Structure 1
Amino acid sequence: MSSLFVCEEPKTWRKVYDKYWNVVEAKAQGKKTGNLLKLDKWFQEELPAQISSRAEKYITLSELVKLMQWKLTRGKFRPRLQQLVASNSEDTVEKCSRKAFSLLPDVQAAIAELSSLKGVGPATASAVLAAGAPEQTAFMSDEAMESVPGLQPIQYTAKNYALYLSKIVERSKKLNKVDPQQDWTPQRLELCLWAMTIATKQQLGLFEELKVKNKKTQEETSDSDGEHKAKKLKSV
């Protein structure tokens, strides 16, 4: 579990967010993820703009296929899912996604609607919603799920997604209360948790200063607790 999720300091989160693309570039250097940088730029920047430009939000079949390619490149590769998603009809994808976005802010109903598509489960459905409504939803990535307490072992169910999202939304609200910029969304938190987890697993060394700071904070807390206990013993 990442210590970032329990951090209440916006500056720490922002330092991680500012290095997001550095982490993506580092991961993209791997043989199987060479296309990640291009796909991630598309998902994080181009797709949201395309969805928002429509009178009613929806995604096309080609966008859903490319979104699945992005998801499998960014996380675990499961080629069978790519084939299943591609087998949906253009009309079905547009109608289903249009209805899903119209159901918001009832995220669970939107997830259920999108999950009726072939090859789409809660995780892929969450990616669709995160691209079109990042202020209400967040992608259900393994890395972000691993970072949130109480969600292990990871289960790709609507129930587990609801729990994950509630924790992410709560943390984003708390950060916005103490951050003057107030620009934290559930999806932005997912980016941070993903980046921190990947950087830690691949030992990229991008957040060494944060580790030192966290260690110092823990030591100060420990010393404070020790003093408190000593005073308590004296008063007994």
Structure 2
Amino acid sequence: MTASEDTLRFCRYGSSEEWKNVLELYDKVLDLKAAKITRPKGKEELIELDKWYQEELPIMINSRDDKHITHKEITKLMKWKLNRGKFRPRLAEMIQTNTEEAVVNASKKAFQCLPDLSAAIQALTVLKAVGPATASAVLAAGAPESAAFMADESMHAFPELVPLEYTLKHYNKYSELVRKTVRRLHKEEPEVRWCPHKVELALWTHVIATQLDGTMLEEVRRKRKKQEDNNKTNRKKQKK
């Protein structure tokens, strides 16, 4: 899979307003993705799991005195990850072989390591079936201001990351590119609270929308063209 030219342009040059417009399409694009699942009740399961991951899990993690994730939660998180991306049942089985104590201790240590992302990822990858991608999903849920989920689609928006590798080194490179994007968007529009997880979600949305139904981005493009025309008009007025 390679990102389209439009996605590459969006990633590198898209305005904060365009990024907001794309992010607002996330739920609709997720529905499109879910509709492609052929397993019985697969569509409903993905939508339900995503709502849990994006909305409920962050609250649960952050409600604890020592941030951590439980065995039940990391098992469910793996299910979400595999349903939203590449479905590999073996990983769903392997994640369950971790003990409750191991999961709690590893995740406590990981959140305590932040903002050192490398150390946080390494703290989680001691668990069975947990690589940098799954570790990043845990961190993005509990600390979206620090970590972006290592989604294939989001990484493909950065040509520097292709071909993809699922290593700590590659995650660090991806994370720095995401943080660079956060800084660019924040500089343009300081009042909007962009974070690594939101940037990752917007990139995922743009890539999947382009793949499954490019017409979903037509309104975003129309708004961008209108903004560009307004900017040109304003610059001409300032020169007079």
Equivalent position SS for 2:66: coil
Amino acid at match of 1:27: K
Equivalent position SS for 1:5: helix
Amino acid at match of 1:6: R
Matched, 1:141 2:151: yes
**Cα deviation code 1:185-210 (max 9, x no counterpart):** 00001110111111111125210133
Amino acid at match of 1:84: M
Residues 4 and 68 of structure 1: is their aligned pair in 2 closer, same or farther, counting only changes over 3 Å? same
Match of 2:162 in 1: 152
Which of residues 23, 28, 33 in structure 2 aligns to 1:22?
28
Match of 1:221 in 2: none
Amino acid at match of 2:132: P
Match of 2:211 in 1: 201
Matched, 1:130 2:136: no
Q: Which runs of 4+ in 1 moved over 4 A?
A: 211-218
**How many pairs does the alignment contain?**
218
Equivalent position SS for 2:107: helix
Amino acid at match of 2:17: K
Equivalent position SS for 1:205: helix
For residue 214 of structure 1, report the CA deviation from its aligned partner: 6.8
Match of 2:232 in 1: none
Gaps of 5+ in 2: 229-240
**Cα deviation code 1:37-61 (max 9, x no counterpart):** 1111100010000001000100000
Larger Cα-atom Rg = 1
Equivalent position SS for 1:70: helix
Aligned partners of 2:78 and 2:134 also within 8 Å? yes
Which of residues 199, 202, 206 in structure 2 aligns to 1:192?
202
Residues 177 and 216 of structure 1: is their aligned pair in 2 closer, same or farther, counting only changes over 3 Å? closer
Residues 52 and 39 of structure 1: is their aligned pair in 2 closer, same or farther, counting only changes over 3 Å? same
Q: Aligned Cα RMSD in Å? A: 1.8
Between the aligned partners of 1:152 and 1:125, the Cα distance in structure 2 is 21
> Normalising by the residue count of structure 2, what TM-score does the alignment of the two structures yield?
0.86
Aligned partners of 1:13 and 1:192 also within 8 Å? yes
Amino acid at match of 1:179: E
Aligned partners of 1:8 and 1:174 also within 8 Å? no
Single out whichever of 66-75 and 4-13 deviates more from structure 2. Answer: 4-13
**Cα deviation code 1:11-69 (max 9, x no counterpart):** 10000011111111121222244111111110001000000100010000000000000
Match of 1:57 in 2: 67
Matched, 1:104 2:114: yes
> Normalising by the residue count of structure 1, what TM-score does the alignment of the two structures yield?
0.88
Amino acid at match of 2:100: E
Percent identity, aligned pairs only? 46
Aligned partners of 2:18 and 2:224 also within 8 Å? no
Which of residues 69, 76, 80 in structure 2 aligns to 1:66?
76
